[in-house]
Amino acid sequence: MIKEIFALQNPWRGKPTYSFHLRSRDIFDTLVKNMENELVLGLMGSRQVGKSSLLYMLIENLLNSNVSEQTIFYFNLDDLKLHPLFDSVPEFIQFLGDDDELKYVFIDEVQRLNSPGLFLKEVFDLKRKIKIVYSGSSQLEVKAKTKEHLVGRTRMFIINRLSFNEYLAFAAPISKEEALNQILLFGSYPVVAKETTAMGKMLRIKDIYQSYVQKDLVDFISLREVDTYNKFLIRVAMQSGDLLNVHSISGSMGLSRSRVEEYLNILEHTFICKRIYPFHKNLGKEIIKTPKLYLLDPGLRNFILNNFNSLDLRTDKGTLFESFYLTEILSGDHYSLNKINFWRTTNKTEIDFIVQDHQGLSAIEVKWNDRKQPRSFMTIRSLYPGIRTSVVTAENYLY
């Protein structure tokens, strides 16, 4: 049975003209470079964000580089009948072929295994010529199951939703204005971008949401209070882009503070939201505790709030655009090296994003259509000489 399933999951074997028909992603070249080192590569990200497609692209690149198809192995562990193959490392090695030729092993949805960390560690520590690339949809699940096993053995990449330029390619032919409108209404999941109608996009978002609830929350995390969690998501969606008020959420929903924090951790580690913490250098006038919370996909936020109204009728365009720009920052940071904060003083002087990268500090204010330099730029430049400042509006993406 395992060989039959493997054959179905590896259709390029024996078909030299097999075509994958995939659109490239900005992070792809970075992943290709890392195929040359000995580390286990991990691709983490939300469901339907394109992790499997990137695995296929890496396989296609190997085949185009004249790597033998017999040395490439792909396993999608959503099929539970494959799991017995991963119960024994010696049997797994025998399946790959017990010879000295370099093997490439791609494992999709690794969190489906009971002990993926231990399995990967044992294979890696054999020091055989095996390059492993795995994907996972729940960082919480993967971390819990890998723990210390992969320390020093793996390099992790976060696969984000489509950047603006990627969306233009996936949804082509499309104007920049229409692309931005679609992203702010329907988000930037690849499968959503490919849909050509508003109804098709909304149905895709519904499918993604239901898959998230069923597979990540119920099946993997064993969350039983799904109705409560759905109501919690509505409260979080309403707060997106604002300071996170755990006390308010706790009181209005009748949940303990610890339960709210647990729900927030689930949201963040399943790549639905991100907490951004204040930037500070221990200056007395800077707030040092309360984070801001962002839902990372505008389409999911609009689905949760049941609001797909046209942008012309929206009062939350600024919030949607701010979330979109956060995804832009994350998408351009392939190694997740940059630190992203916001800045807010006790007198409520605020800047949306402070980004620390290899070039230094950047202060970025995000506005839908107001390019006026905020007074907060003068304040932060006086405190942090040399900081770069910029205002980002929709015009940055339209011209």
Instruction: Provide the residue-wise pLDDT of the chain in tens; the chain has 399 residues.
Output: 899 999 999 999 988 788 889 999 999 999 999 999 999 999 999 889 999 999 999 999 999 999 999 999 999 999 999 999 999 999 999 999 978 899 999 999 988 888 888 899 999 999 999 999 999 876 655 665 555 667 778 899 999 999 999 999 999 999 999 999 999 999 999 999 999 999 999 999 999 998 887 666 766 556 677 788 888 899 999 999 999 999 999 999 998 999 899 889 888 888 899 999 999 876 555 555 789 999 999 999 999 999 999 999 999 999 999 999 999 999 999 999 999 999 988 777 899 999 999 999 999 999 999 888 999 999 999 989 999 999 999 999 998
- In DSSP terms, 294 is beta-bridged to 274
Predicted local distance difference test score (pLDDT) of residue 267: 87
pTM (2 d.p.): 0.92
Of 275, 329, 321, nearest in space to 298 by CA: 321
Q: Say how far apart CA 109 and CA 47 lie, in whole Å.
A: 10
Same fold, 2-158 and 198-398: no
Predicted local distance difference test score (pLDDT) of residue 19: 85
Q: Say how far apart CA 77 and CA 74 lie, in whole Å.
A: 10
Are the beta carbons of 243 and 249 closer than 8 angstroms? Answer: no
Query: 1.20.930.40, 1.10.10.10, 2.130.10.10, 1.10.940.10: which CATH number matches 198-398?
Result: 1.10.10.10
Q: Return the SS3 of 4.
A: helix
Q: Say how far apart CA 247 and CA 57 lie, in whole Å.
A: 45
Fold for the domain defined by 2-158? Rossmann fold (3.40.50)
Q: Say how far apart CA 113 and CA 253 lie, in whole Å.
A: 35
**Domain segments of the chain: what residues?**
2-158, 198-398
Which contiguous run of DSSP H or E holds residue 262?
A: helix 257-269
Other CB atoms closer than 10 Å to residue 117's CB: what's the count? 21
Structure tokens at 5: 């399933």
Predicted local distance difference test score (pLDDT) of residue 177: 97
State the greatest distance between any 2 C-alpha atoms of the chain, in Å, as a whole number. Answer: 68
Predicted local distance difference test score (pLDDT) of residue 371: 86
- In DSSP terms, 339 is beta-bridged to 356
Strands (E), 265-338: 273-278, 292-295
Are the beta carbons of 10 and 72 closer than 8 angstroms? Answer: yes
Predicted local distance difference test score (pLDDT) of residue 62: 95
Q: Which amino acid is at 398?
A: L
Predicted local distance difference test score (pLDDT) of residue 148: 65
| Rama region for 78: left / alpha / beta (φ>0; ψ in -120 to 50; rest) | alpha
Predicted local distance difference test score (pLDDT) of residue 98: 79
Using CA atoms, how far residue 245 sits from 251, 292, 297, in Å, is 10, 9, 20
Predicted local distance difference test score (pLDDT) of residue 145: 59
Predicted local distance difference test score (pLDDT) of residue 194: 96
Give the Cα-Cα-Cα angle 337, 161, 311 (nearest 5 degrees): 120
Using CA atoms, how far residue 58 sits from 17, 92, 104, 279, in Å, is 16, 22, 10, 38
Q: Is there a cis peptide before residue 291, judged by omega within 30 degrees of 0?
A: no
